[in-house]
Amino acid sequence: MITFTLNGQEQRFEGDPEMPLLWYLRDVQGLTGTKYGCGEALCGACTVHADGAPIRSCQTTLGDLAGRTVTTIEGLSPDGMHPVQVAWRELNVAQCGYCQAGQIMSAAALLKDTPHPSDEAIDDAMSGNICRCATYPRIRAAIKKAAGQVHRKTASTGGAK
Amino acid sequence: MGATITNLSRRAVLMGLGAGTFVLAGGLGPGARAEDSPKKYGGDAMPGGVKDDPRLFVAVAADGTVTILCHRAEMGQGVRTSWAMVIADEMDADWSKVRVDQALGDEARYGNQNTDGSRSMRHHFQALRRIGAAARQMLAQAAATQWGVPVAEVTADHHSLVHAASGRRLGYGEVAAAAAALPVPARETLVFKDPAKFRYIGRADIGLVDGFDITTGRATYGIDVRRENMLYAVVARPPVHGGKLVHYEVDEALKVPGVVKVVVLNTAPLPSGFLPKGGLAVVAENTWAALKGREKLKLTWENGPNAGYDSVAYRAELEAAARAPGQVARNQGDVDTALKSAAKRITAEYYIPHLAQAPMEPPAAVAQVTGDKCEIWGSTQAPQTTRETVAKVLSIPAENVTVHQTLVGGGFGRKSKPDYIAEAALLSRAMDGRPVKLTFTRTDDLHHGFLHTVSVERLEGGLDAKGKPVAWLHRTVAPAINATFAPGVKHEGASELGMGAVNTPWIVPNLRVENPEAESHTRIGWFRSVSNIPHAFAVQSFVAELAAAAGRDPKDFLLDLIGPARQINPADMADGWNYNEDPVVYAYDTGRLRGVVERAAKESGWGKPLPKGQGRGIAAHRSFASYAAAVVHVAVDAQGKLTIPRVDIAFDCGPVINPDRVRAQLEGAVIQGVSLATLGEISFKAGQVQQDNFDSYPVTRIEAAPKDIRVHLMPAAQYDAPLGGVGEPGVPPIAPALLNAIHAATGKRIRSLPIRDQLQA
């Protein structure tokens, strides 16, 4: 049995430890905010936090997660008011929106560790997240808008599911 | 706002203003055009036409909540927001009380719902104004009746009706029930708002109606739909288009925990249109089990007639075809004689490979078959085509197919084709009616797409002794979209040729466009901007090549080629299609094309010196009844590394409804143009696609996107002017402007896309 914490709640999983977290979230838990985009850690749509760091849930098995703490887009903020989410809305970043949960999770992790990132730091942190609508200019602008507002406790632990 | 797409709530909400009016479906609303014109254009020419009955689209609840039904697919263009802005503005609704709900797929009821061709606002803006105005007038009439005063004395004021003389005031919700019972005012009695008083139309600070849901993970796309007792499926499809499954062993797959069943899907004969490719489906308790099960299948395919499709050999075929005369699509003057007598003669061949739309949400849908009925929850641009295709594969009437249109996680044309939804429907039936979610993996998406065509464009030009162009010969060779749907198609259709091949407004006395044959060996489909991409790439690159040969500034040369401002009937350029728009109302306006060229040049600092290794390129193109010009500024370092510090794009789409979304579409179009020019290629070997995922089919990521994109919107004279499209016209000028900039920076002319490492050679 694998136990880990998901959005503040303890999980006990007795199935195939090779199952990627992505499919556990989406198909077993119904947490569909985390998206499938490539299945090979190439696009970042499935980004969640494990112990506060961004990971690709499509390439992270449940076996890898024993004892760890996972936060998904649903758990990033109880009321959707994480500074990154707010900045995203203020700048109307999204187009189709599909990749945006992954983008937001990557951006939130970046700003937690680097409150005022340079353009190069933004490129480094966000390069793994593809947006086919190409909302990149606004992603960059929204990260700068949210800069300095993300604190460790809001970014990594999340609230109630 | 927190609007969600949940058709589940649709009926309950519509019981406001819509109470008792459900029987209207299919009836001719007051917006229906009289049958007095021989040819219909625009939205009126689309299947289902345009509907403007407010009872179909607006519901006002007793608490004043206004629910607006959007029947267009939301796939990133922001249409659910813009759609509601127009209706809410004309009805003078308070935006904070507006909700947006999504219509079911039903063209008999709602009018045409096919969301492609950059036409949501182009076809519907005036109808949306009529819907809003009619709703406002019905509310006003209800208030007038209640007060016993003439309706002329009642004015709407931000969600209230006011009788100024008596100082009385009623909220929209208070008169909603009475208003719902009133007849819809006739079109000629509608009074529209003075555009100077628009509250929402034209405003740039309206938040997306789906913004909260998107940023919190609550937004529901087709791939996210969950139904009770649902199963999950993936399909192993023939690796070659037109191939068939001939032998299979499934024992190992069935041993995978969670795998429930393996289902054979029939392969439709070629040309297969929207129908699925067939193959073997693995149905399981979750996606992971289905994927593992699929890996364990042992399959033998018969590859069929396209087994030899090879992109290297095919390119040579296209080039050979382009070097010989072909079917004439447009002809003026005597090109052959003019070329022979030209002082300078230039020839160039341009190649652009297949492209995959690769929306971030791969094709996915949920279907549930119950008896002779089927319910679909799908990410689709074309709900009516979905109904018809599902009906066909299930052999049931289209009316028995209910399509719940979810948010579309990127479309770009891929989700105009419902093959994946038909697969879900077939699998639900095979599973005795249990709901089945069908998911394409990314590899499935790239291997089983409806690809952008592949083309060779050969241009030949002649200049006189003074550098003036005297001859223009363009041969365009590309497999056609129609070949996906009809046998024996070897020429581009009118719509493809009308996307920038024949309809060049050049001041050149001798001009011919030819379309030699090309056979299709895969499924060709629409890709954002469609044939405008190869045509504009070649034509606008060649304009710069001619300018260089003439020793002229490319921008000045382009303006001279466009010539003076004038209105050209597209038919006079052998374009009888014109995006199905009226050739007079939507004439080719060279003044507007000049306008965007001049604006982009001015804003970009065209002509100002740049450091060594840097350069600017310009390109302009009309498509989807809009005009776009881009100046791309590049820097190429000594190692051949390309960066794009800045892009200026000037855009004229007529009246702008939602400036923020127009800008967003253009920002995206610029980067998607950069992506296809620098990286995009789908290639075939032995009939099979060679790219499997975003490693072998790379797309532009944040670090390679232009850092500074400046969108310059041309002001429209008035809101009654015809609207152009927005979603697609920004893409076509980007690749040629980029290549022209690279030439300016390095002297190197790239004619074969993608650029990839050509600058490092």
Please write the tens of the pLDDT for every residue from B20-47: 322 222 333 334 444 555 799 999 999 9
What's the CA dihedral at B674, B675, B676, B677 to 10 degrees? 40
CB contact under 8 A, B410 and A132: yes
Predicted confidence (pLDDT) at residue B755 exceeds the cutoff of 50 = yes
CB–CB of B458/B349 below 8 Å?
yes
Question: A158 in contact with B at a CB cutoff of 8 Å?
Answer: no
Predicted confidence (pLDDT) at residue B503 exceeds the cutoff of 80 = yes
Instruction: Assign A151 a pLDDT band (cuts: 50, 70, 90).
Output: confident
By CA distance, what is A124's nearest residue in B? B703
CB atoms within 10 A of CB B505: 18
Integer angstrom CA distances of residue B595 from B71, B539, B630, B653, B732: 34, 19, 12, 12, 17
CB contact under 8 A, A96 and B671: no
Segment 68-127 of chain A within 8 Å of chain B by CB: 72-74, 76-77, 80, 85, 88-90, 92, 94-101, 104, 119, 122-123, 126-127
- Alpha-carbon distance of B268 to B418, in angstroms, equals 14
pLDDT of residue B14: 37
Predicted confidence (pLDDT) at residue B175 exceeds the cutoff of 70 = yes
- Alpha-carbon distance of B432 to B283, in angstroms, equals 12
Residue B315, Cβ density class (10 Å: 0-12 exposed, 13-18 middle, ≥19 buried): middle
Instruction: Assign A124 a pLDDT band (cuts: 50, 70, 90).
Output: very high
- Helix or strand (DSSP H, E) at A54: strand A53-56
pLDDT of residue B168: 98
CB contact under 8 A, B76 and A39: no
CB contact under 8 A, B215 and A33: no
- The alpha-carbon gap from B621 to the nearest alpha carbon of chain A, in Å, equals 21
CB–CB of B97/B72 below 8 Å?
no
Rounded to 5°, angle at Cα B298 from B296 and B299: 130
3-state secondary structure of B163: strand
The length of chain A in residues reads 161
The amino acid occupying position B237 is: R
Find out whether the peptide bond into B754 is cis, omega within 30 degrees of 0. yes
Q: What is the ipTM of this complex?
A: 0.95
Dump pLDDT digits (tens) for B666-679: 999 999 999 999 99
Tally of CA atoms within 13 A in the half-sphere of B234 that contains its CB: 23
Kindly report which listed range (B14-23, B183-192, B357-366, B739-748) carries the lowest average pLDDT score.
B14-23
Which residues of B are less than 8 Å from A42 in CB distance? 442, 693-695
Helices A136-146 and A83-90: angle between axes, nearest 10 degrees: 130
CB contact under 8 A, A96 and B76: yes
**Most A-contacting residue of B77, B214, B643 (CB-CB within 10 A), to test interface:** B214
Kindly report which listed range (A76-85, A152-161, B565-574) carries the lowest average pLDDT score.
A152-161
pLDDT of residue B95: 98
- The alpha-carbon gap from B58 to the nearest alpha carbon of chain A, in Å, equals 24
pLDDT of residue A152: 64
Token look-up 């050739």 returns B583
3-state secondary structure of B140: helix
Which residues of A are less than 8 Å from B212 in CB distance? 80, 89
Across the range B537-558, mean pLDDT stands at 98
**DSSP assigned state of B384:** H
- Buried-state track B663-696, b at ≥16 Cβ within 10 A, e below 16: bbbbbbbbbbbbbbbbbbbbbbeebbbebebbee
Distance from CA of residue A62 to its chain's centroid?
A: 17
- Helix or strand (DSSP H, E) at A13: strand A9-13
* Residue B247 token pair: 């032998």
Phi, psi of B647 (to 5 degrees): -130, 130
Predicted confidence (pLDDT) at residue B9 exceeds the cutoff of 50 = no
- Buried-state track B342-366, b at ≥16 Cβ within 10 A, e below 16: beeebebbbbbbbbbbbbbbbbbbb
Dump pLDDT digits (tens) for B266-312: 999 999 999 999 999 999 999 999 999 999 999 999 999 999 999 99
- Alpha-carbon distance of B676 to B528, in angstroms, equals 11
CB contact under 8 A, A32 and B220: yes
CB contact under 8 A, B219 and A97: yes
Phi, psi of B444 (to 5 degrees): -55, -40
CB contact under 8 A, A96 and B360: yes
Q: What is the mean pLDDT of chain B?
A: 95
- Alpha-carbon distance of B220 to B233, in angstroms, equals 19
* Residue B491 token pair: 């020429």
A23, A42, A134 member nearest B286 (Cβ): A23
- The alpha-carbon gap from A67 to the nearest alpha carbon of chain B, in Å, equals 22
Dump pLDDT digits (tens) for A40-99: 999 999 999 999 999 999 999 999 999 999 999 999 999 999 999 999 999 999 999 999
pLDDT of residue B29: 36
Predicted confidence (pLDDT) at residue B557 exceeds the cutoff of 60 = yes
CB atoms within 10 A of CB B325: 12
pLDDT of residue A153: 55
CB atoms within 10 A of CB B13: 17
Question: A36 in contact with B at a CB cutoff of 8 Å?
Answer: yes
The length of chain B in residues reads 761
Segment 52-71 of chain A within 8 Å of chain B by CB: none
Residue A139, Cβ density class (10 Å: 0-12 exposed, 13-18 middle, ≥19 buried): buried
- The alpha-carbon gap from A16 to the nearest alpha carbon of chain B, in Å, equals 9
- The alpha-carbon gap from A30 to the nearest alpha carbon of chain B, in Å, equals 8
Which residues of B are less than 8 Å from A26 in CB distance? 224, 287
pLDDT of residue B37: 57
CB contact under 8 A, A135 and B660: no
Across the range B714-727, mean pLDDT stands at 94
- The alpha-carbon gap from B704 to the nearest alpha carbon of chain A, in Å, equals 9
- Alpha-carbon distance of B652 to B662, in angstroms, equals 10
By CA distance, what is A31's nearest residue in B? B217
Predicted confidence (pLDDT) at residue B361 exceeds the cutoff of 70 = yes
Across the range B342-362, mean pLDDT stands at 98
Segment 2-21 of chain A within 8 Å of chain B by CB: 15-16, 19-20
- Alpha-carbon distance of A6 to B675, in angstroms, equals 37
CB contact under 8 A, B360 and A45: yes
Across the range B180-194, mean pLDDT stands at 97
pLDDT of residue B231: 98
Predicted confidence (pLDDT) at residue B58 exceeds the cutoff of 80 = yes
- Alpha-carbon distance of B152 to B161, in angstroms, equals 12
Across the range B337-357, mean pLDDT stands at 98
Which residues of B are less than 8 Å from A130 in CB distance? 360, 694, 699, 701
